[in-house]
């Protein structure tokens, strides 16, 4: 792909051409309608949402390290390697391949069905479970947009986004063993010891080819 200056409007126009943002928005709309229909709002709904948003950097870190960077394994003669991990390896191979930036739609269907079923069928207060699912769904819209935007040619203009942009670019173009958060920088990575000084980190030969034989750790 040829690099060019990209406006935010142009970036959004491309974003809107892909299916997963619309799937997520439809899911948010359905969950919101269900939550409004159930009613029974309380301060607990606020606590649930704030807690989930506060946990989101750690959630990103855990998913990125444990699921997306999963090393294929053999278990009883069966290869264990998820679609998410395989697609993420392709994403590292070509970080500018736009379709690979988005959550795979098949995996997203599993997430939607799983969390919606949990919200509707779990014991306890259905409204609070719907708030739980709605917060995650809304955050995923935000995640999808930020992750996409970082991989485009849109140049950051504000300090907060510039830090997020730099953090994720280090992960893809300098060393895949660090900088695992996507929508924030210096949060969970700092807590988990994966936020080093970039000037002191050697460029990884496997940043584009995860789990290649030369990889260590």
* pLDDT at residue 4, as a whole number: 66
* pLDDT at residue 88, as a whole number: 97
Given a cut of 80, whether residue 155 has pLDDT beyond it is yes
Cβ(179)–Cβ(172) below 8 Å: no
C-alpha Rg value of the chain to the nearest Å: 19
* pLDDT at residue 217, as a whole number: 40
Please choose, from the candidates 198, 200, 202, 201, the residue with its C-alpha nearest in 3D space to the C-alpha of residue 185.
198
Q: What is the spatial distance between Cα 73 and Cα 14, in angstroms, rounded to a whole number?
A: 36
Q: What is the spatial distance between Cα 134 and Cα 183, in angstroms, rounded to a whole number?
A: 18
Q: What is the pLDDT of residues 52-102, one digit of tens each?
A: 999 999 999 999 999 999 999 988 889 999 999 999 999 999 999 999 999
Q: Which position has the higher pLDDT, 106 or 214?
A: 106
According to DSSP H, which parts of 3-104 are helical? Answer: 8-15, 19-38, 43-63, 83-93
- Quote the tokens at residue 162: 């510039």
- Quote the tokens at residue 53: 């948003």
Given a cut of 60, whether residue 185 has pLDDT beyond it is yes
Q: What is the pLDDT of residues 195-210, one digit of tens each?
A: 999 999 999 999 999 9
Please choose, from the candidates 115, 133, 125, the residue with its C-alpha nearest in 3D space to the C-alpha of residue 32.
133
Measuring CA to CA, how many Å separate 179 from each of 20, 28, 132, 163, 203? 25, 29, 27, 11, 13
* pLDDT at residue 66, as a whole number: 96
Given a cut of 70, whether residue 159 has pLDDT beyond it is yes
Burial class (CB in 10 A: 0-12, 13-18, 19+), 140: buried
Given a cut of 60, whether residue 3 has pLDDT beyond it is no
Cβ of 180: how many Cβ atoms within 10 Å? 23
* pLDDT at residue 216, as a whole number: 45
* pLDDT at residue 100, as a whole number: 96
Mean pLDDT of 169-197: 97
For the chain, give every domain's residue range: 18-192
Place of tokens 């140049």: 155
pTM: 0.93
Q: What is the pLDDT of residues 7-31, one digit of tens each?
A: 999 999 999 999 999 999 999 999 9
Given a cut of 70, whether residue 172 has pLDDT beyond it is yes
Residues 6+ apart with CB under 8 A from 56: 139, 183, 184
Measuring CA to CA, how many Å separate 35 from each of 24, 50, 129? 16, 17, 9
Cβ(45)–Cβ(128) below 8 Å: yes
* pLDDT at residue 127, as a whole number: 98
């Amino acid at each position: 792909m040829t690099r060019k200056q990209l406006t935010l409007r142009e970036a959004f126009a491309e974003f809107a051409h892909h299916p997963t943002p619309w799937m997520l928005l439809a899911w948010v709309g359905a969950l919101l309608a269900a939550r409004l229909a159930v009613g029974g709002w309380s301060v607990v709904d606020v606590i649930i949402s704030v807690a989930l948003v506060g946990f989101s950097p750690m959630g990103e870190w855990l998913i990125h390290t444990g699921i997306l960077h999963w090393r294929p394994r053999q278990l009883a003669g069966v290869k264990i390697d998820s679609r998410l991990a395989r697609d993420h390896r392709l994403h590292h191979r070509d970080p500018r391949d736009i379709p690979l930036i988005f959550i795979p739609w098949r995996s997203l269907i599993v997430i939607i069905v799983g969390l919606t079923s949990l919200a509707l069928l779990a014991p306890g207060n259905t409204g609070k479970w719907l708030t739980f699912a709605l917060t995650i769904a809304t955050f995923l819209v935000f995640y999808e947009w930020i992750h996409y935007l970082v991989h485009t040619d849109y140049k950051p203009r504000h300090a907060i986004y510039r830090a997020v942009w730099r953090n994720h670019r280090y992960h893809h173009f300098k060393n895949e063993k660090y900088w695992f958060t996507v929508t924030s920088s210096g949060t969970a990575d700092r807590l988990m010891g994966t936020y080093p000084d970039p000037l002191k980190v050697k460029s990884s030969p496997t940043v584009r080819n995860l789990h290649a034989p030369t990889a260590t750790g």
